[in-house]
Every structure is written in structure tokens, then in C-alpha cells.
Structure 1
Amino acid sequence: MSTPLRHGWTTGACATAATTAAYTALLTGAFPDPVEIALPKGQRPAFALARERLADGEATAAVVKDAGDDPDVTHGALISATVRPGLPGSGVTFLAGPGVGTVTKPGLPLDVGEPAVNPVPRRMMREHVAEVAARCGGTGDVVVEISVEGGEELARRTWNPRLGILGGLSILGTTGIVVPYSCSAWIDSIRRGVDVARAAGRTHVAGCTGSTSERVAAELYGLPEDALLDMGDFAGAVLKYLRRHPVPRLTVAGGIGKLSKLADGHLDLHSGRSQVNPDLLAGLVLGAGGDPALAERVRVANTALHALRLCQEAGLPLGDMVAERALRTAREVLRGAPVEADVVVIDRSGVIVGRAGVQGESRAGVQGETGQSRHRSAE
């Protein structure tokens, strides 16, 4: 029997715990350790303090983030809160300390110039400040400065720079709990990417499965960075969000393997949750008038890329056929939303091997533009 995966705590929960401990110390002179907080759904976890300092009219407490068994980039990060008195009647004011980003682009749930502390963590911290103030005789008028040790470097491994959050990480979380492998943070980043693109007035975005397809889409259409959506395996997340928040044009770009899954109707393209369907590929060959012997070779091919090579040798455009079927899936999910979609299929070297939904453009010409250069290996 497998051991259940261990849940962890969001950066917002950790910042709330640190803020609660620091404000308690500011009012009483003693840090509660561990410090207990209430999460939005009623859980009451306790956090051990990694650092504490009380001096010069301010208090600082820090918590090490535990993401449980989730492969979270912020696992093990030291999240600190420094609390000092604010102006009378000011309530809780948030500042971005070292390692916490600042919002520089519209389209996010925070105003430009604000520290990247999301609305739910802000509400949690305000509620806990009010509770501590009522219990310990404070006014609740405080300045809360959140910091993340090494956060600026960690942020380079997230969507933050593309979303216009500069200087560090975001303080995130809606429930306070990190569910292992829930992928909710990635999907939320996709949604925020669409929001930022719309706020910037972009009329064409590209959902890409990896760095190579992202480069191809950017070069092919001259798209700026904030029009590129790193959708990874979550094609469904892009399509469903654009259905509700449309952008006039969407390009779906990716490798032959992942997009053959989309062609088969899968919206989650992860290898653990969907597989390439060799019968679909063989059926496409037969439907295009291909030799039955070729269709059988495609059906038993090792990979979708292997099947593509077999069809290329026979002069059959399997890439175009996969693109057309993937486009059909995309349109079904968009459900008539005002989004013109097209699909670009590439091989591992970044050469375009299939397209659908493109009007007035020569595939041969586009292949010449794309070339063979590589950035990273991910499609």
C-alpha cells in the first residue's frame, strides 16, 4: 500500500504565521512559538519559528516553508514578516521586502506598484492582526513587510518576470494548503498570463507546451513575451479560460507527441494522465489514403515522432493531420467563443511539421523561417 502524499503550506499561510508571531511580540514582548493560525477552511496549523528579532520598535519572525511532497520551487524558503506601528487609522499596510516582487503590469488582482502579496493572504494577515490586536491591546494599525530569503533568484524559475512581477516571488495561496501535484499554481499562472496579455491589449496569444515551441511561435508570429503562455501539459486550462476571457487569436504550439494527445481529445497532456493513441495515428494514415502497410507500421511505432518520420519518408503529412484534429478539439472546447485558433506542430529540433487553421501562409516558407536552432530541449 502506497503512503499518502503529504500536504504542505502556501507562502501566504507562512507569511500569516510570521506576521501573527511578530505582531504578538511587538505588543507583548514574547514570540509565540509555535504560532497557530486559522486557515480559510477552518484548519488550525501551528508553525515553528526559524528566526525572531525584537528591537527598535519593530518585530521580525520567520517561518521555513514546507510544501509537503509537492515539487514546489519555494519549498524550504525562509519567509519573514517585519511588523512595525503604522499611522493611526491606517489599518494594515503591506510592503515588499527583499525577495518579494512588485507588480509592474496591469491585469493582475493587484494594482501596479503594489507588493505581490495576493488578496487572500492579505485578508488572512489582516484578520490575524485584528485578532492579535483585540487579544493583546493593540490598535491594529501596522506596517507589515514580507521578505523571502533568496526570493529574487527563485522568482526567475516562475512566471513572475513574464507577468510583470519584478524583484522577487509572489505571496500566494487561497486555502493556505499545498496539495501535492495538484498543479493548481501552474493553472493559476496560465490564467494570470491571459489576464496580463488582455490588459496589455494583446490580440494574439500562444499556448506552448515547452520552450522550443514557445520560441517557434514567437519567431513565427512576432509575439512579445507577455503574449506567450507556458501551458505545459494544461491545454484544457488555456482553452477553458480563453472561452470565458477571449483573446481574438490563439495559437496552440507543441511537439507531435503532446499535440497528438490533444488531437485524441485529451486536455491534460501529461504522460502520466494521457497516452499517445497509435490507433488514432494509424487511422489518420488510412483516412488520407495511405498504404495499409504504412498504417500498421505507424500503429506499432515506438513514439509519435517515430510515426511522423515513417510518414515523412512516405510523403504523407501526418503532422498536418494531427494539427487539424487538434484544432478540432480546441474549437470544441472553445465552444464558439470569439477566438480564432490555429495549431502549430513541431519536431524536437523545432522544425514545423504540421499546421492547421492558418490562412494565407505557406508552410514551406514558415519552415524556412523556423530553422534548426535550439534553446532548451523541451518541446
Structure 2
Amino acid sequence: MWPESSEQQQPLRTGLTTGTCATACCLAAGHLLLGHQQKTSVSVTLPKPADGSKQVQLDLTQLAFTNDQTARAATIKDAGDDPDATHGATIWVELTLSKALGIEFIAGAGVGTVTRSGLLLDVGQAAINPVPRAMMTSHLNRLAAFYDYAGGFEVKVGVINGAEIAKKTMNGRLGILGGLSILGTTGIVRPYSCSAWIASIHQGLDVALANDFAHVAAATGNASEAFIADHYGLDDMQLIEMGDFAGAVLKHLKKAPVKRLTICGGFGKISKLADGHLDLHSSRSSINLPKLAHIASNLGADNDLISAIEDCNTSLEALGLCQQQGIDLAHAVCQNALTFAQQSVPNSVQLEIFAVNRQGQLLGSALSQALSS
């Protein structure tokens, strides 16, 4: 189990990935099958040195034979101080000795199956990513050598309530159905790195490109996504849950250059993009009211309006003042956002920006020359 959080400010705790948890379960089940050792904890070697340590210790919540050829082990995932959907989930593995050489991975209950091309795995495979597969393979191979075992293994990985937890992730949109993905590249979860979200953004772009969708839309929230999906009649596979991570979308287009990208967001988020921010979260960027005042000035705003904008509390308040005087601030902000965003994408990508209000109603837009001509 994980300790109670302290009320005093402390360094944030790192956690462990689902891939590390599954590897620990593999190792424990292997020791029971091959050496009849009843482990209460095991030490897992991480794929990359992290936080100065190459090994981590995991406690087991279950370890038992299910028959003479199969053992089941389970552990609870501790994501540290990261707000991870799988924090506290029980990861389990049923390891079976096989006469066939090699290692076969199977999706157990709560682990998804890949149904769309464009991911790191082939369609039909269990959603156990390459690094976790490599971790489990290396640990099982070392274990087989230690016990002089010449056979193979069948590895079934599951997550208790994984199908329900997966509803809180982007797996369904990515075409990973039936449960969660077993993830990890370093074996460690870094607090608030949002690495899983960013990885899902990249996977969403990859899936759209692999399935021949020329147009993809990235939205900051539910209202903006609902608007842009209805505006263009987009398929679910064409929609990217960007959130605050505009940079994750724009920079990945160098690897996955879709023909056309639409970014749609609330006016405040688009204002931040117009000000040169790629991370739109309130803790990492803020509304630049003097910048909005400068844009309004270029549109003909008088000194009284400029001063009023600079004294506003929110971007929407500034927008409302401009609307009262017939100043089209929203379209100009979208144009500024477009100009900045175009610096991060290949020339082949046709880019457009939409801003909406909290009710998902259009406030302004800007299109690249290729789209507007």
C-alpha cells in the first residue's frame, strides 16, 4: 500500500508503471512455478536508470498456483503523487509454462485489445506495449536460465476493474477496446509529467494518419470538441483530446504530418497560444491582458478601451468589452495563434484555429492561406 500524503509540502513521490507491476507479477509467478518459492516481494530491474536507482521493490498481494502449470500473482499499482487513473489498481499476471518456445502475451480481463492500425502494436494484439513486453521477456529469460528451464511461457496480464477504469482514459478513441493498456518506457511514473496523456495525443495522431484521415481536430475541452465535431461532421477517430498540451499536438506533426489540423479551444486557451505558449495550463501560462489590449489597439480600439482591457480579470471580460464597441478581438486572436502555431508544424500541414465560448458557440477563427484561398 502507499503512505498517507503529508500535510506539509514535500517533494512529489514518483510511482511505478503498469508495465513494472506486470513484470513483478511475472517474476513472482515464475519463482513459484520453477522454484516453488513463495515470494512476498520481488525486485524488478528498470529498463532505464531512473532517480539514481536501477531496481525497485514491489510487494505482492497474491501469489498462488492455479494448477501445476500455472501460477497467478498480483500487486497494487502505486503511481506516487501522479493523478493517474490506474493508481491503486490491482495488476495481475497468470503465468503458464509452455512446451512451445518463446513468450506469448495475452490480454486478460481488464486489459484491452488493439483494433486499429497506427499504434505500436498490430491489430488483434493485447494492449501490452513494447517496453513492458521487453521487461517481462528479459526477466523471464533470466529466470529460466537460473532454474535451467528450457520451455516457453504464456503471459496473461489483467487489471481488476480495468474495463471500467479504461473509460477514464483515451483507449476507446484509440481503438484499444476491452480495458487498459500496460504502459511504460522507463518503468517509473513521474508526478504530473502527464506522460500518459501526451502519449495518447501522439497515438491519436498516429492512428488517424494510419487510417487515412486527412483532417484531424484537436480540442481543449468538451465544449470545443463538441462544436468542431459537429461543425465538420468528424469521425471519432479524427478527434484528439488535446487539453492544455498544444505543443504535444503541434510538435508531433513532424512525425505524423496529417494534411489538415484544426485546433479548437476556449477563448482564454487560444489567447495563450496567441501569446506564444504551447502549454496552456493555468499553472504554467497565464492570460496576457496587455497583449490582448495591443491586439485591440491594432483593430482601432481607443485609449479608454485599451485601459479597460488591461484592467480586466479575464480574457472573456476583455472580449465582451471589445464586442460592445464592434472590435472583432476573437478573430484577431485566432490569427495571432495561427501565426505562432505555424512555426511548429511542417509547411505541408494546413492549419486552422477556432475559438469558442463556454457554451461551445463560435467566437472567431483563422485559416491558413491554403484553406482560406
**TM-score of the superposition, structure 1-length normalised?**
0.93
2-side partners of 1:118 and 1:108: how far apart?
Answer: 9
Which residue in 1 is equivalent to 2:35?
A: 28
Q: CA deviation at 1:55?
A: 3.0
Q: CA 1:33–1:73 in 2, change beyond 3 Å: closer, same or farther?
A: same
Structure 1 unpaired stretches of 5+: 363-379
Q: Secondary structure at the match of 1:298?
A: helix
Q: CA deviation at 1:331?
A: 0.6
Which residue in 1 is equivalent to 2:289?
A: 278
Q: Secondary structure at the match of 2:45?
A: coil
- How far does the alpha carbon of each residue in 1:334-368 deviate from its partner, in whole angstroms, 9 at most, with x for none? 1x431000100001111100110178999xxxxxx
Which residue in 2 is equivalent to 1:44?
A: 55
State which of 60, 65, 70 in structure 1 corresponds to 2:77: 65
Q: CA deviation at 1:32?
A: 2.0
State which of 96, 100, 114 in structure 2 corresponds to 1:88: 100
1-side partners of 2:300 and 2:321: how far apart?
Answer: 15
Which residue in 2 is equivalent to 1:348?
A: 358
2-side partners of 1:337 and 1:52: how far apart?
Answer: 55
Which residue in 2 is equivalent to 1:116?
A: 127
Does the Cα contact within 8 Å between 2:110 and 2:162 map onto a contact in 1? yes
Q: CA 1:125–1:202 in 2, change beyond 3 Å: closer, same or farther?
A: same
1:133 aligns with 2:144: yes
Does the Cα contact within 8 Å between 2:60 and 2:75 map onto a contact in 1? yes
Does the Cα contact within 8 Å between 1:86 and 1:142 map onto a contact in 2? yes
**Residue correspondence of structure 1 range 1-379 to structure 2 within 5 A:** 2-42=9-49, 43-56=54-67, 57-89=69-101, 91-334=102-345, 336-357=346-367
Q: CA deviation at 1:290?
A: 1.2
Q: CA deviation at 1:300?
A: 1.0
Q: CA deviation at 1:135?
A: 1.0
Q: Secondary structure at the match of 1:44?
A: strand
Amino acid at match of 2:154: V
Query: RMSD between aligned alpha carbons?
Result: 1.5
Consecutive aligned runs of 4 or more in structure 1 exceeding 6 Å deviation: 358-362
Which residue in 2 is equivalent to 1:372?
A: none
- How far does the alpha carbon of each residue in 1:225-267 deviate from its partner, in whole angstroms, 9 at most, with x for none? 1111111111011000013321110001000101100000000
2-side partners of 1:227 and 1:361: how far apart?
Answer: 18
Structure 2 unpaired stretches of 5+: 1-7
1-side partners of 2:360 and 2:17: how far apart?
Answer: 37
2-side partners of 1:94 and 1:337: how far apart?
Answer: 41
Does the Cα contact within 8 Å between 1:70 and 1:179 map onto a contact in 2? yes
Amino acid at match of 1:270: H
1-side partners of 2:305 and 2:267: how far apart?
Answer: 18
1-side partners of 2:264 and 2:14: how far apart?
Answer: 33
Q: Secondary structure at the match of 2:23?
A: helix
- How far does the alpha carbon of each residue in 1:54-105 deviate from its partner, in whole angstroms, 9 at most, with x for none? 131210000100000000000000000000112332x110000000000000
**TM-score of the superposition, structure 2-length normalised?**
0.94
Amino acid at match of 1:195: D
Which residue in 1 is equivalent to 2:3?
A: none
Does the Cα contact within 8 Å between 1:231 and 1:238 map onto a contact in 2? yes
1-side partners of 2:189 and 2:228: how far apart?
Answer: 33
Q: CA deviation at 1:137?
A: 2.4
The share of aligned pairs that are identical, in percent, is 49
2-side partners of 1:189 and 1:360: how far apart?
Answer: 29
- How far does the alpha carbon of each residue in 1:136-169 deviate from its partner, in whole angstroms, 9 at most, with x for none? 2222501000010000000011010000000000
Going by fraction, where is strand more abundant, 1 or 2? 2
1-side partners of 2:116 and 2:204: how far apart?
Answer: 11
Which residue in 2 is equivalent to 1:377?
A: none
